[in-house]
Amino acid sequence: MTNPIISDEALGIIFRNARSFDEYTDKPVSDVTLRAAYDLYRYGPTSANCSPTRIIFLKSDAAKERLRPCLSDINVDKVLAAPVTALISYDTQFYELLPQLFPSQPTARSWFDGDVDVANITAFRNGTLQGAYFIIAARAVGLDCGPMSGFDNAAADAEFHPEGQIKSNFLCTLGYGDPTNLIERSPRPDFDQICEIS
């Protein structure tokens, strides 16, 4: 392996030793910590710096209760017990901010405005990238994560994004993981199983 430019310990925190958690300690997650994760993940690359991700951090019991009817049964307890659940979504009209976010190309807004299919796939693809960046950033600031599907996207959108412009992608619980009931890490494929260099 080549020498990484960040420490092996940091790589362990972000990747090798990180786990997806279902259970967390009672330690609260501060708004300062959530903002610190945002301040990291926002620098991850997106097409034309489009940055379509929109996140609602559900911290209060009342906010989590709004999400409860949208959840698969298997995820209800996980979400309600977690200190925070992030509803990670994407804005299908992200291009409205391109004059601010991509000033080097004054016509960038026109690339997407009026072409719903291109705008939607760009929003979904880049929003998913940003969701992954967010998980890495959250781990880097000391949080543990529990990314999940297992919810009714349409119901969540009706509750949290009723105007229809923003679409939910996935959920991610956040907190300080309780390792008590962690199962053994599942295997990952080897390089030669899924990669090719040509």
- Give tens-digit pLDDT for 133-153: 999 999 999 999 999 999 999
Does pLDDT of 192 surpass 60?
A: yes
| Interval 69-86 mean pLDDT | 97
Q: How far apart are CA 155 and CA 41, in angstroms?
A: 27
Provide the residue type at 145 as one letter: C
Once rounded to an integer, what is the mean pLDDT over residues 66-80? 97
Q: What is the mean pLDDT of residues 82-111?
A: 97
Element (H, E) at 76: helix 73-81
Amino acid at 19: R
Question: What mean pLDDT comes out for the span 156-174?
Answer: 98
Residue spans per domain, the chain: 21-173
pLDDT at 194: 97
**Residue 154 confidence (pLDDT) above 80:** yes
pLDDT at 35 over 60: yes
pLDDT band of 1, cuts 50, 70, 90: low
Q: 55: closest CA among 137, 144, 150, 176?
A: 137
Question: What is the spatial distance between Cα 177 and Cα 94, in angstroms, rounded to a whole number?
Answer: 33
User: What number is the average pLDDT over the span 82-105?
Assistant: 98
For residue 25, name the pLDDT band (cuts at 50, 70, 90).
very high
- Which of 1, 34, 22, 26 is closest to 137 using CA atoms? 34
Whole-angstrom Cα distance, residue 120 to residue 137?
25
pLDDT of residue 160: 98
CB atoms within 10 A of CB 14: 16
Band (4; pLDDT cuts 50, 70, 90): confident
User: What is the pLDDT, as a whole number, of residue 106?
Assistant: 94
Mean pLDDT, range 89-117, rounded to an integer: 96
Mean pLDDT for the stretch of residues 157-174: 98
* pLDDT at position 21: 96
* Calpha distance 182→106 (Å, rounded): 50
Class of domain 21-173: alpha beta
Q: Is the pLDDT of residue 29 over 60?
A: yes
Pairing assessment for the beta strands 166-175 and 84-91 based on DSSP bridges: antiparallel
